[in-house]
Amino acid sequence: MTKDLVGLYADSDALALADLVKKKEVTPSELVETAIQIIEDIDPKLNAVVIKNYEIGRAAAQSEPKGPFGGVPFLLKNIGSHWEGTRVDGGMEYLKDYVCAYDSTLSSRIKEAGFLLLGRTNSPEGGWCIATEPRFYGKTLNPWNPERTPGGSSGGAAAAVVSGMVPLAEASDGGGSIRVPASCCGVVGLKPSRGRITYGPADADFWFGSVYTFACTRTVRDTAAYLDATAGWGAGDPYTPPVPEKSWLELAQAAPRPLKIGFTLDAPFGEPLAPEVAQAVRETASLLEGMGHKLEPYTVKFDLEKAWWDYNDIIAVEMANAMDQSAALVGRPIEQHELAAFNWTMFEYAKTLSAKQYSASIAGIRKANQQLGIELNQFDAFLTPVLTQPPRPVGYWSMEDGDRKRYLARWSDAAYMFAFNISGLPAISLPSTTFANNTPIGIQFVGRMGDEATLLNLATQVEQARPWIGKKPPIHATA
């Protein structure tokens, strides 16, 4: 593989690579072999790709390219999406022998879009962590600064994208797990509106619509085109957000209009914003004002701290149910030594909750959903930090902490993450110009329900004003 092709591949977004394939300037097989070489060369430094399916990508590369991303290498996350014939274990040795027997609807759409699967990226055990440090596979490191977390739970995906392994990788988000690693690694991470991506066909719902599967990307246009390729309602789906008349890619690139944008420099609970984080928000607000948008400071009034604890009651029960389902697959219940200490604590905590308590917690997050929608509906978009603090050191989010309350209290860093999982509002993480500890800091835009178009258009404006695709971490395919 030539050095020129490695550089071209690692510096391009997915649409650019697909265009090269369409023009027959490069073949899908050449892209696949380039991606494999890069993964083999630099992943030992990062531990981002934990399950390899090179044979699937190589075989698919022999077929005629199809779809908007025809011939582009791709990585799934090691949790959630089913791709027939591939392993998925959620970072747990307990499930290491599970092989998908079918394609989820999302995976079918990914195939139709033309992506070529090469493997799965690292995720924390069970996914409920904003770092990526499972016992089974070990820690994923940040390509910018290996002493700092790449975020989680899609830390492997974001690290793979920013280091040049693939231009786009699947990610999912139940409390910031797309947006946090996008922020920590300096890539784009959209969490779509509730119901935008179907859970089908095997599942109708996850965490009352608070889990979203999408991607981390290098560019906003890739995010928009990927949304065009993967979005869509499925029969029996409980949530149906509005759909625009034009494509999201077209809307992302449309002429901008002046927007009313709220912004906040207040942390909902926990520590105040770190100076670097506040700087990132201020810089972005100033940039937007210079573009002609109207900026207004606003502090969220709803009690998000209470909503956080309500949400974790629901998650504890959902996790316990998932472990019961896993036991049916494995043929035996999981034992304490097979789970990280925090996960075992949540498993046991779920057993203490009464139906009345569980119902009250559901009502609590539904009220938060309503109140956040009411409060923010006055704005076309709302600007927040992604994390209230710079990326934490590796180990800070260790799931080996068995003190449930202490572990969950650390999540105050992500108070602006889960809020938009439970509200269902779309939100996108973008790189800012600010760094801390040689690690990127991201900012977040939140939109009205179903209005990804405004977010993508605004994100395109920011990207054009301060492009980030050319910024490379020290651990990169071209380094």
12 is catalytic: no
Taking phi over 0 as left and psi of -120 to 50 as alpha, with beta for the rest, 446 belongs to beta
Pairing of strands 260-263, 294-297: parallel
Question: How far apart, in whole angstroms, are the C-alpha atoms of residue 90 and residue 402?
Answer: 19
172 is catalytic: no
The catalytic position among 81, 104, 153, 183 is 153
77 is catalytic: yes
Please give the distance of CA 78 from its chain centroid, rounded to a whole number: 13
The catalytic position among 154, 163, 172, 177 is 177
Number of Cβ within a 10 Å radius of residue 3: 8
Question: How far apart, in whole angstroms, are the C-alpha atoms of residue 1 and residue 58?
Answer: 15
Question: How far apart, in whole angstroms, are the C-alpha atoms of residue 158 and residue 32?
Answer: 19
Sheet containing strand 294-297, edge to edge, reads 49-52, 116-121, 73-77, 168-173, 212-217, 188-191, 427-436, 439-447, 381-385, 260-263, 294-297
The catalytic position among 12, 77, 163, 193 is 77
Q: Which residues are catalytic?
A: 77, 153, 177
